[in-house]
Structure 1
Amino acid sequence: MVRGTVAALTVAFVMPFITPTGSAETGTEFLGLDAGPLGAQWQAAVDGPQPYDGISPDLAIPLTMSDGTVLKADVLHPMKNGIRSEAPGPVVLSLDGYGKVALTVAQMLLQLPGLEQMVLPFLERVIGSVDLTGTALEGITDLTQQADSGLIEAAAVDPRLVRAGYTIVHVDIRGTGTSEGRWQVFGEKERQDTREIAAWITAQPWSDGNIGTAGTSFMGLSALRAVDSDAPAIKAVFGVVPSGDTFDDITFRGGGFGVGFLPLWLLATNLAKMVPDVEAIIAGRFDPVQQQKWLADRLADPATYLDMVANLYTALHPDQFSDRTREFADPDSSGRRGLTVNASEVSAATFVVTGWFDIFGSSQTTTWSQLGVSPAKKKYVIGDGYHAGGGVAGFGRNGMPRLDTLQRAWFDKWLRGIDNGVDKFAPLTMKQPGGTWTTSDTFPRKGTGYQRMYLTDRPSGTAPGARYDGGLSRNSPTAGRDLTVAPGLASLCSRDTATSLAGIPSIIVGCTEDSRIRETEGLTFTSSPVTEPTAVSGPINIHLNVSHEAADGYWVVTVNDVAPDGQSRQISAGQLVSSMRAIDDSRSDKSANGDYIRPVYYIDLDKRQLTVPGEPMTLDIGSDPIDTTLQPGHRLRVDIFASNFPKGLPPLAVLNDSQLKPQHLQLDPDAPSWMNVALSQPIPE
């Protein structure tokens, strides 16, 4: 009740200062950052009396799929006065890849007397009070300030949903946890399983036929893919740091394999799937025959896709790639297609919480734009953070609703049909890097337009430690110059490294909030300072005129916000293996003048084009979408590098062709290089 009272008082003070966001598409007036009286209503639904007072678990339920594979499920039922409810109600489904046991146990522990009412709020206050601003570990503060945002509860699929009358169903994905089969990594069998699980749920007496999906990270990916599985009963999703395109986000972005994250993730998932089904013993459902089948499946494929990683870095030529490796280099393969959500076919109401620098941050705004639902049914919260947390500090304060409150309101609206106004929450709520929260119903935001900014040989005088200090201008260069950049390891001290390692290195801000160490290996091109706040919004493309000394190369770009004191904060990044430069125009976005905004690469072995040493060529390198504001005195900068370990490392066959030789950027007035970026106004010369 305290949270609801505070929220109501805050609403009364803040509401007069809020300007709502309008939608040209629907005519709907969306809420600003403060949800106002509606937010107080949502919080009251969470804090007020609930129809049930407990949770009754039903563990290790075997679900037999159409091919005979047995998946295991835990079902958490509402309970009152010690009696399990069998009344039909909505269901929240979580498809687990690390094993459902841990999440089920965590949700049950939260029901211990006093833990939710006293211990958790106390821990939120204590953790939230930790402030290391101004120290070498300042990044820890970015994590602690999220303690009261409701993120933890929402990420854990808030068990309070059960006391509100929802049934929560956890299912171990095929080949993971306690389920039989071989792990497919979002293959077609998993989609079929989702349809059959949904059919099983709707046939149960405790289900009213309305299903929502929820989860975080791996489970968030599964939740988002579930709404693309042709299961009509799945009507809503609430995902935390998921991905709409795992292939482009982290697997083979621009042809560089995500070596910093993927091998560790694959190893963790393969280890987790070896834990036997202890719950079945506790629940009296232990089946020796079924357990033998589970063990046989694990022994048949103990290290799923780790063989592909090994093959990537032992094959000296593409002819030596295994069939599994070739599958991921084929855009038409089922394994490759399974890594991308078919967003345009999604009809379920979709709410996603993520961060600009999440390992899956590259695809978020594209997925939001392509979702086949109206702005009332698609909401993305994008924080100034990483996979660990998302950077959502501010939610739960100053009238902004908590994320667990939004999760409850979202499911109440789309699974129960309660007209609570959550559809009026802003379609996009974005934390600008180093700035404040903003809302929008378009991306890029209204009032911005794409324009070229050319890379020139005019020194900016702002990058004395960089390998090269050039200019960034609306005017094409007037003089030619050949610039050299070579592979190195300075990328270890960068925001890209923090991104690839889920944000863990971000606690030390010397590398993540300032690129000047990395820039010692890079070519920098910096604009004049802006004289008034200037919005930068949307995906960015860097068009380069280059040449190579070998048959291949690897180019990395970042876009940075440079402060008057010289601090260079990375706000966007992209990478491209030169031989994988072929662009699928049918899926790419362009400006009115034909310049690429968001190039989409085939990443197809059959379309690989080796480079000719010494011969100039052009590359279009897509850089991550962003929404930020350059403050007066700040500048925009483009950095160019030839390596990005550990975020991206090309396969050994590419490295063998490139020989890790230096690469060349040509500043040529007749074939200029430029950045295509959406700005609210031109940057002064």
Structure 2
Amino acid sequence: MKAFWRATFAMALLLVTAVPATAAEAEPRISRPGEYSGYAPVLYDEWVRTSQYVPMRDGTRLAVDLYRPAVDGRAVDTPHPVVWEHQLSRASRAEDGTVNLAGVTSGMAELTRYGYVVAYVDRRGNGASFGTMTGYHSRTEAADAYDIMDWLATQPWSDGQIGVFGCSNTGEAAMHAATAGSPHLKAVFAGNYSFHKYDGFQRGGIRANWGVGPNRTIEEDLRNLPVDADPNGELLYQAALEHQANTQLRDMWRAAPFRDSHVDSVGARPWIDYSVATYAERIERSGVPIYSYDGWDDDFRKEILVSAATLSNPHKVLIGPWPHCGHEGFDLVAEQHRFFDYWLKGIDNGIMAEPPIHYYTTSGETGRWNSAKSWPPEASATRYYLAEGPTGTVGSVNDGALTTSTPRGHGGADVYHVDYSVSCPEPVGLNQTCPQDERGLTYTSAPLPEATELTGHPVVSLRLSSTAADGNVFAYLESVAPDGSVRILTDGRLWLSIRDTAKAPFDVLGTPWHRGLERDAEPMRPHKAERVSFDMLPVSTVVPAGHRLRVTITGADVRESNRQEQSPAPVYTVHREPGHASSIDLPIVR
């Protein structure tokens, strides 16, 4: 063991990088989303990385990496603001033994040039830190965040001004840091997080895609980098042994079908106790400014909009044409630099005078950036009805119509046998599923006479009956090109047992909200038509002229992680009688 670590870490973990300095005075003063120059002088052209353990209030030691400005290879003691991330792993070795620190820092070490200290902290039970991870974003982790910020603020090289950043699980950790009440925290830059875990991870009461890691073997844990004082990796090995008691998240979520489910293994109601929304008042009391960002191809995009609408804190929102934690074509580090300069250094770069919401509207392979004072921007809800198609058949690619005409006459209904054989040619990972038009009911509009912008939250309202007491329903909004190719624009889903809607305790932007408490569960009455309403994830896209809009209804989705298949499969009936029609409201920008 000792020999292995001596060989592996023969190189020093004190790393110094040099980048050419340029005079800020020679740069044009630019400050707009994704662009920033001329406001902050370059103070240093080197940084030094060190690592150490920092004990928490209960004695648990967390591993901390520090990237500090340096001169001639030595870190400076001049006090500077500190920005940090509550990581799962500061850095780890690939199977071939290489380390990519650039991937860890995501470019944030660049801020050392401008007079920042950048820190990365392994959360307890992860990386080189000791302890165990109980649940997911527990209050113990929030207390750790408080202790870390207190430590960072009181070091001689810190001026006491602290910012926190992150994306996905670390973005949510950044939001939980804001609940801890630290007087030192002055700014939060968080991406792709859930505001309420049940609505983000268990959207519509259905698990798909998210939150089943990290679960690592001891061997995998030993690829994490030890701290400087542990060159042989002996402490890392002890920490890795403790990690084996971490919560198995997949098992925890399966034990919590309802928003208020209690899971004995963690002694908590995980959806409630681990949600940012539960501690919204603490965030508001802190007054800490927040910058939230996401992408249109991410399942959490509604969550950051709900967060911004609910919290009274100064708030910026950015949504681009990106997947989970993506930002291709946009300089996210420059945007973080702008935000932290304003709140941690008092540089009046105009960022907070801009409209609070900056979002991208897609249009085929291109698009445009827009700004808005509030979300959703002005759009009219245009109701499209699910109607009988030109052939009157079910099961063909174009079996139903989507029309703005109100149903007349005796109406009708479409019968659908739930098909569990949904699949995609390639694994979908964290992305949207592929079109399932051959395995569901489809309703397709006439070709659009002109390009049509959809910006906001589509809402589906079905008059639905089922032969079974339970089941799931999925809806996809699609664009169908003249050549027949299909692109999914957005989707929605609902577990039928929690179909009743209620008033939400936070701002859900005018969409239906399903409380999902255990006492709310109500089986479907066989063959009894019920109103089933749910929203789709928000969207901002232009559908070209000549394309058709399509709604596809299924009873299964490729991404389901805990599907309960029934035998025989349920038979759904989508009703479209006058006065009891099924429809979708589309947010069309005129």
TM range (shorter): 0.7 to 0.9
The amino acid across from 1:172 in the alignment is D
Q: Which of the residues 573, 577, 583 maps onto 1:668?
A: 577
Aligned pair partner of 1:51 in 25, 43, 67: 43
- 1:578 alignment counterpart: 496
Report how far residue 311 of structure 1 moved.
5.8
Query: How many Å apart are 1:625 and its aligned residue?
Result: 0.8
Describe the SS at the equivalent of 2:36.
helix
Unaligned runs of 5+ in 2: 1-18
Q: Does 1:237 align with 2:161?
A: no
The residue that corresponds to 2:311 in the other structure is 371
C-alpha contact (below 8 Å) 1:468/1:524 kept by paired residues = yes
> Quick one: structure 1 residues 72 and 162, their matched pair in 2 at CA, closer, same or farther if it must change by over 3 Å?
same
CA distance in 1, matches of 2:289, 2:99: 25
More helix by share: 1
Contact conserved, 2:477 with 2:488, CA < 8 A, in 1? yes
Deviation at 1:556, TM superposition (A): 0.1
**2:518 aligned residue:** 605
Q: Distance in 2 between matches of 1:640 and 1:628?
A: 21
Q: Provide the residue aligned with 1:252 in structure 2.
A: 202
Q: Which moved more, 1:212-221 or 1:518-527?
A: 212-221
| 1:323 aligned residue (259, 264, 271) | 264
Please say if 1:297 is aligned against 2:242: yes
Kindly tell me the number of residue pairs found equivalent between the two proteins. Answer: 562
Give the C-alpha shift of residue 170 in structure 1: 1.1
Cα distance per residue 1:71-105 (max 9 Å; x no partner): 221122111122221111100111101344569x9
Q: 1:423 aligns with which of 332, 343, 352?
A: 352
* Aligned counterparts, 1:176-191, within 5 A: 176-184=126-134, 185-191=136-142
Question: Do structure 1's residue 544 and structure 2's residue 462 form an aligned pair?
Answer: yes
Aligned-partner Cα distance in 1 for 2:495–2:289: 37
Contact 1:227 1:347 in 2 (8 A): no
Give CA-to-partner distance per residue, 1:413-436, whole Å, 9 cap, x none. Answer: 111111122224443332223241
Counterpart-to-counterpart distance in 2, 1:283 and 1:326 = 35
Q: 1:279 aligns with which of 213, 223, 226?
A: 226
Q: Which amino acid aligns with 2:520?
A: K
**1:157 to partner: Cα distance:** 4.6
Q: Which amino acid aligns with 2:584?
A: M
**Are 2:446 and 2:548, in contact at CA under 8 Å, matched by a contact in 1?**
yes
1:561 aligns with 2:553: no
Give the secondary-structure state (helix, strand or coil) at the position aligned to 2:457.
Answer: strand
Deviation at 1:546, TM superposition (A): 0.7
Q: Secondary structure at the match of 2:119?
A: strand
Local SS of the residue matching 1:363: helix
Question: Residue 236 of structure 1 aligns to which amino acid in structure 2?
Answer: A
In 1, are the aligned partners of 2:133 and 2:243 still within 8 Å (CA)? no
> What's the counterpart of residue 142 of structure 1?
none
Summarize the alignment of residues 521-536 of structure 1 with structure 2, pairs less than 5 Å apart.
521-536=439-454
- Determine the structure 1 residue equivalent to 2:36: 42
Once the two structures are superposed, residues 136-158 of structure 1 have per-residue CA deviations (whole angstroms, 9 ceiling, x without a partner) of xxxxxxxxxxxxxxxx89x7152
The match for 1:63 is 54
Give me the whole-angstrom Cα distance separating, in 2, the residues matched to 1:309 and 1:271: 23
Distance 1:668 1:590 in 2: 30
Counterpart Cα distance in 1 of 2:553 and 2:61:
51
**Cα separation, 2, equivalents of 1:217 and 1:479:** 49
Say whether 1:387 aligns with 2:324.
yes
Q: Which of the residues 142, 145, 160 maps onto 2:110?
A: 160
Change over 3 Å in CA distance of 1:234–1:589 after alignment to 2: closer
Paired residue type of 2:439: E
Identify the residue that residue 98 of structure 1 maps to in structure 2.
89
1:220 aligns with 2:171: yes
Q: Deviations over 1:162-212 (max 9, x none)?
A: 122111111111221122222131111111111121111111111111111
Match of 1:267 among 215, 236, 239: 215
The residue type paired with residue 203 of structure 1 is T
- Where 2:221 maps in the other structure, the secondary structure is coil
Contact 1:357–1:384 (8 Å) recurs in 2:
yes
Counterpart in the other structure of 1:125? none
Matched to 1:384, the amino acid is: P
Provide the secondary structure at the position in 2 that maps to 1:479.
Answer: coil
Corresponding residue to 2:291 among 321, 343, 351: 351
Secondary structure at the residue paired with 1:186? coil
CA distance in 2, matches of 1:275, 1:481: 62
Please list the CA deviations of residues 240-268 of structure 1 after superposition, one character each: whole Å capped at 9, or x if unmatched.
4344344322x31112112x4444x3435
Q: Which amino acid aligns with 1:181?
A: G
- SS of 1:368's equivalent? helix
Change (3 A) 1:36 1:183: same
> Matched residues in 2 for 1:267 and 1:166: separation?
33
CA contact (8 A) 1:443 1:537 kept: no
* Structure 1 Cα separation of the partners of residues 166 and 42 of structure 2: 23
Q: Deviation per CA, 1:556-596, whole angstroms, max 9, x where unpaired?
A: 011123333333321111111101223231347799xxxxx
CA separation in 2, counterparts of 1:266 and 1:225?
18
- Alpha-carbon spacing, 1:680–1:38, altered in 2? closer, same or farther (3 Å): closer
Residue 78 (structure 1) aligned with residue 16 (structure 2): no
User: Aligned to 1:615, what secondary structure does the other structure show?
Assistant: coil
Amino acid at match of 2:343: W
State the distance in 1 between where 2:128 and 2:155 align. 22
Distance 1:170 1:419 in 2: 27
Q: CA–CA distance in 1 between the matches of 2:77 and 2:303?
A: 41
Aligned to 1:140: none
The 5 Å alignment of 1:394-433 reads: 395=330, 402-433=331-362
User: What is the CA deviation profile of residues 318-355 of structure 1, one whole-angstrom value per residue up to 9, with x for unaligned ones?
Assistant: 9x996359955x76x424x3587738727333333421
Which secondary structure state, in structure 1, belongs to the residue aligned with residue 243 of structure 2?
Answer: helix
Structure-2 change in CA distance of 1:632 and 1:366 (3 Å): same
Q: Which amino acid aligns with 1:629?
A: V
Distance (whole Å) between structure 1 residues aligned to residue 370 and residue 152 of structure 2: 37
Could you tell me how far apart the structure 2 residues matched to 1:40 and 1:537 are? Answer: 22
Deviation at 1:367, TM superposition (A): 2.3
Which gives a bigger RCO, structure 1 or 2 (Cα 8 Å, sep 6+)? 1
Residue identity opposite 1:552 in structure 2? D
Look up the equivalent residue of 1:210 and give its one-letter code. Q
Please report how far the alpha carbon of residue 626 of structure 1 lies from its aligned counterpart in structure 2 after TM superposition: 1.0
Give the AA of the match of 1:485. Y
Letter in 2 for 1:342: A
Cross-structure match for 2:12:
none
